[in-house]
Homo-oligomer: A and B are copies of this chain.
Amino acid sequence: MVESLRIDLNCDLGESFGRYVLGEDAAMMKLVTSANVACGFHAGDPAVMAHTVALAKAHGVALGAHPGYPDLQGFGRREMRMSPQEAAQIVLYQIGALAGIARQAGLTLRHVKPHGALYNQAAQDPELAMVIAQAVFDFDPRLILVGLAGSELIRQGVAVGLQVANEGFPDRAYLPDGALMPRGQEGAVITAPESVARNALRLVREGVMVNGDQVRVDTLCLHGDNPEAVENAKAVRRILDAENVEIRPF
């Protein structure tokens, strides 16, 4: 008898700030099982965080922290050279801040996923990955660390004793080493909903190739910052439902 496949669907949410609205949060909350909530450094502010936590609660979506570099203008996508210790401190600070906001809603955090340049650097740099993983563990050893499938961050998460979730990106092209093709390059971002959906199904069934090794995928990242993304997310859900893949939190 075949074990049925299952997958978590996650989305970066709560990335508005003050008067600035970004993302289709209300629509995406209905489509995902895990919400990665910005913590005020690359996006989000205490009011946005409180609103996003309430939204996750209303939809029964698992709550996670999405810490990034302190760079609102650059949306956390510009590399900063801080020491690994400084990086760990900003991660702890942001996880704690979101956990504080979440307590008023009676929620606790279930996972942590670094954002943007911090995510990408932690996918490659063992020392950075290690201190981030340790910070997450120190905050709460039951937290799940979400990182690029097969990356250094996943390795270090396992090493410090955390549960990890290998993340796949159905709307992005991959390099042979498992890294994402940089956004600037042609073909890096996949926009057609049916292509995204097919990629999603393939990622669930076959995982990601990382230097020739097959790495399973535990969660798919669904972007939510434009109306098309909602269509993509729906297309992904349709194909997974049609193929009897169970959608549930990791």
Contact = CB atoms under 8 A, between A and B. Distances in A.
Interface stretch (A93-101, A150-158, A194-202, A241-249): A93-101
B92 A100 contact: yes
Interface in A49-104: 49-50, 70-75, 78-82, 85-86, 88-90, 92-101, 103-104
B101 A89 contact: yes
B73 A78 contact: no
B93 A100 contact: yes
A47 B89 contact: yes
Given A19-B22, A72-B17, A104 B92 contact: yes
A97 B103 contact: no
A46 B82 contact: no
A138 interface: yes
A62 B137 CA distance: 24
Interface residues on A, range: 35 or more
A79 B69 CA distance: 13
A135 interface: yes
A137 to B, nearest CB: 9
A123 B81 CA distance: 18
Nearest to A45: B73
Contacts of A43: 19
Nearest to A92: B100
B20 A90 contact: no
B139 A100 contact: yes
Contacts of A114: none
Contact of A92 (B46, B71, B72): B46
A70 B80 CA distance: 11
A49 B93 contact: yes
Contacts of A147: none
Contacts of A19: 22, 43, 75
A40 interface: yes
A89 B74 CA distance: 13
A93 B97 contact: yes
A92 B103 contact: yes
Interface in A127-145: 135, 138-140
15 contacts: A17-B72, A19-B22, A20-B21, A46-B86, A47-B86, A49-B93, A74-B80, A79-B81, A92-B100, A93-B97, A94-B100, A96-B96, A96-B98, A96-B100, A97-B100
